[in-house]
Amino acid sequence: MLYQKKLMKKFVGSFLGVASVSALIGLPGMAQAHLQQGSSNSFSKSIIAQNTPGTTPSGTMSTPGTTDTTPSGTTSTPGTTDTTPSGTMSTPGTTNSNSSLNALDKEFMTKAAQSDTTEIQTSQLALKKSKDQAVKDFAQQMIQAHTNSTQELTQIAGTKGFTLPKGVGSENKPLLTKLQQTNGKSFDRAYMQGQLQAHTKTLAEYQKYIKQGQDPDLQAFAKKIAPVVAEHKQMAQKTIAKL
């Protein structure tokens, strides 16, 4: 019995020895196969990466040399001029500059504005000082008519960049001063005589520009207002005859 146990241990030991040797012999082959499989996988990944355009070695997409575009897909070009939504060049509202006016244009607008101011201010004095109803009625019409012509002339001057004078001017100042110092019937006569003279002078200025002026806007204005001035002149003559 003891002999059989020894024989069994020897047999088992021999078998384990052979298995160990076989395992040692098989291990390099298995390691080599594993290494070859890893190398094959790495090689496959490398091939896939090379066949994918626009990728960096890390696998991220590279976009060198691309051009930024606008939302519509067209290439944006810095430094271009802004356009209106219709695609046309935007043109800000323009006005005729003062340089487009000649000496006659400026002279006419200046004298017409000063004449209007004179008529308004002297007529305001008449409403306060005169006791004659005909004189007061005439004065009221002068204020209304010359206020309207002042508004029209101011609008035209504004489009041309020209500033109208605010005062009556040196030529009309003596009449205003005289009326400020006069009262009663003397005032009525002085006022109406001043109106006749002022309208005669103003009508001459309008007729001069109608003949010589070149600006179409001022031409139209002069042709419109000249008949009104002529009518005022006739009214002044009739009123004087009643005093």
59-95 per-position pLDDT tens digit? 444 444 444 444 444 444 444 444 444 433 333 333 4
Condensed to tens digits (0 to 9), the pLDDT of residues 141-171 reads 999 999 999 999 999 999 999 999 999 999 9
In the numeric block, which tokens belong to residue 16?
């384990």
H-only helix segments in the chain: 2-50, 103-129, 133-159, 173-180, 184-212, 216-242
> Looking at the chain, which runs of residues are DSSP E strands?
none
The pTM score is 0.60
pLDDT confidence band for 100 (50 / 70 / 90):
confident
Per-residue DSSP letter, 168: -
The structural domains of the chain, with segments of one domain joined by +, span 104-242
* Sequence-separated (6 or more) residues with CB below 8 Å from residue 134: 239, 242
Q: Which CATH class is domain 104-242?
A: mainly alpha
* Sequence-separated (6 or more) residues with CB below 8 Å from residue 187: 125, 126, 129, 130, 179
Per-residue DSSP letter, 93: -
Mean pLDDT, residues 194-212 taken together: 97
* pLDDT surpassing 80 at residue 23: no
Angle formed by the axes of helices 184-212 and 133-159, nearest 10°: 30
